[in-house]
Amino acid sequence: MSTPAACPVCTLENTYRDGAMNICPDCGHEWSDAADASPAEEGAKVVRDANGQILVDGDSVILVKDLKVKGSSITLKKGAKAKGIRLVDGDHDVDCKIDGVSLMLKSEFLKKA
């Protein structure tokens, strides 16, 4: 018999199971084991590409349209591939390299390869 995890609200370990629910008698919080695996509760941001696919670190992506790079005369062509992307916080949520140039792009202009 496994012991339930610590309470995600008050972080005390005085918890018990009641059927499929975990209960913390100290703060009154109730949660299920399925809620523990949810990335939304952990504060993780879910990044999706132009087609709605979930992107993760290390994915390869392809540009879905031509993009002009601000402050430069470079134009990234549709179909250019970036390997090994990194997800970052902020307005531009993908950090990658295309043709040897480090860029930060919005995921709405990318599709998973």
Quick one: pLDDT band at residue 4, thresholds 50, 70, 90? Answer: low
Q: What is the mean pLDDT of residues 4-25?
A: 82
The DSSP call for residue 109 is G
Please state which CATH number belongs to domain 1-43.
2.20.25.10
Q: In what order do the strands lie in the sheet with 16-18?
A: 16-18, 21-23, 30-32
Q: What is the mean pLDDT of residues 80-91?
A: 92
At 85 the pLDDT is 94
Mean pLDDT of the chain: 85
How many Å apart are CA 95 and CA 107, to the nearest integer? 10
Higher per-residue pLDDT: 21 or 80: 80
Q: What is the pTM of this model?
A: 0.60
How many Å apart are CA 102 and CA 107, to the nearest integer? 15
Say what percent of the chain tops pLDDT 70: 87
- Residue 3 backbone dihedrals phi, psi, to 5 degrees: -85, 140
Instruction: State yes or no: pLDDT of 98 exceeds 90.
Output: yes
Give residue for tokens 């140039």: 101
Please state which CATH number belongs to domain 47-112.
2.30.30.40
Per-residue pLDDT of 35-84, as tens digits, reads 554 444 455 678 999 999 999 999 999 999 999 999 999 999 999 999 99
Q: Do domains 1-43 and 47-112 have the same CATH topology?
A: no
* Token pair in block for residue 53: 């696919």
What are the extents of the domains in the chain?
A: 1-43, 47-112
Handedness of CA 47, 87, 58, 49 (dihedral sign): positive
